[in-house]
Amino acid sequence: MDFGTTFIILAIAFGFFMAWGIGANDVANAMGTSVGSGALTIRQAVIIAAIFEFAGAFLAGGEVTQTIRKGMVDANMLAATPELLVYGMLASLLAAGIWLLVASYFGWPVSTTHSIVGAIVGFAAVGIGMEAVHWNKVGTIVMSWVVSPLLAGSIAYGLFLSVQRLIIDTSDPFANAKRFVPVYIFLTGFVITLVTVFKGLKHVGLELSTLECYLLAILAGAIITGVSQVYIRRIKIDPKADQEFHFTNVEKVFAVLMMVTACAMAFAHGSNDVANAVGPIAAVVSIVEHDGAVTQKSALPLWILVLGGVGIVIGLITYGHKVIATIGTRITELTPSRGFAATLAAATTVVLASGTGLPISTTHTLVGAVLGVGLARGIAALNMRVIRTIFMSWVVTLPAGGFLAILFFFILKGIFYN
């Protein structure tokens, strides 16, 4: 294929830029609640996210990647002109990356999934033809943008009510926190491990039976709980601490739990959102390697997952602090117990979606979960002005991604098309 090496180099460059944008903008969804609740400092959040975002992208990122790569555009229509798909995927990566850079600059938590899907649909509809887009797939993804915040919000609402009933509204909240928080920690470790081993490890060559998956998840949950118990036992009640805020000592116990859920959310986010960067790269590499064959099925090369994981981590370290501030402190006032409910609900929703191959928006999921926690305390606990701004940035994201992708598609076509 003409310009094959050039296309791969451009795909790597644009894909890395897109992954950087995911780290700069979307990782706030994984870390914002932990930082906003005071359970982690920015520095601690960056270290945890760097490790677990990369692990999620590398170990469990393969499943969702297939949906973005194969599901959005009718490959059969491009069999005679595979270069159009290459231009489109390159344009989509560059368009989504630029929009994420703009949004991150202003501190808007926008959806990377919205950005890349909008870009792919935009170039395909205009550059190839309306019939080239699998609109039923687009419909499924759009539906997930409604379902995921509702599901995460409902889970968060239920989790926070359970915290209130079992711990906060009792005669001895501190003792009950020490009793029940390990149960929540086990639940977190179990859910994350189960979905990872069920769906995420096939492309690294590890095949486990259903029973082995459950046993491994139980074991991982038990180990995580055991390690956390060491820290929880060290927490001593400080009567002076409760004078200003009645549950300060209880929140210290939940801060340990927030460490676990922050790791879980970072892993879940990496597994789901790496697809937004590596899917289009994989499509370009596959077309070039198979000399223009668009329909050829090929395994996702592991180096592409590594590239996506590294890009996400660098984006977080260099530019992630602005969006972390928006998510963590401006939607509703978060404490470690509230942050836990939001983060575990969002992580559970994301890993379930990652396991089924549905590219949901982590942003929508986490904002939905934070709203669920806020609603459990009453509508007055929510900052509606900030929520309106966030919703407006979501609405703009799809057309912005689509418009930029169409523009770059025609520029690339003008440069390379014979």
pLDDT of residue 19: 92
Match 């050039």 to its residue by tokens: 6
Report which of 349, 311, 302 is spatially closest to residue 18, judged by C-alpha positions: 311
Report which of 403, 250, 270 is spatially closest to residue 347, judged by C-alpha positions: 270
Lowest mean pLDDT among 103-117, 119-133, 190-204, 243-257: 190-204
Report which of 61, 63, 83 is spatially closest to residue 71, judged by C-alpha positions: 63
Rounded distance between C-alpha atoms, residue 150 and residue 24, angstroms:
25
Structure tokens at 52: 């677990």
Rounded distance between C-alpha atoms, residue 110 and residue 113, angstroms:
9
| Residue 168 per-residue DSSP state | I
Average pLDDT over residues 217-231: 90
Instruction: Find how far residue 402's CA is from the centre of its chain.
Output: 21
Rounded distance between C-alpha atoms, residue 189 and residue 221, angstroms:
4
Paired strand residues for 332: 382
Cα atoms in the Cβ-side hemisphere of radius 13 Å centred on 80: 2
Q: Which of 135-144, 203-212, 354-363 has the highest mean pLDDT?
A: 135-144
Rounded distance between C-alpha atoms, residue 231 and residue 351, angstroms:
27
Report which of 75, 141, 137, 87 is spatially closest to residue 114, judged by C-alpha positions: 141
pLDDT of residue 198: 65
Structure tokens at 401: 């991604």
Residues in the chain: 418
Torsion on CA atoms 207, 212, 213, 218, rounded to nearest 10: -150
φ/ψ of 382, rounded to 5, equals -100, 140
96 pLDDT above the threshold of 80: yes
Lowest mean pLDDT among 83-92, 194-203, 325-334: 194-203
φ/ψ of 66, rounded to 5, equals -65, -40
pTM greater than 0.85 = no
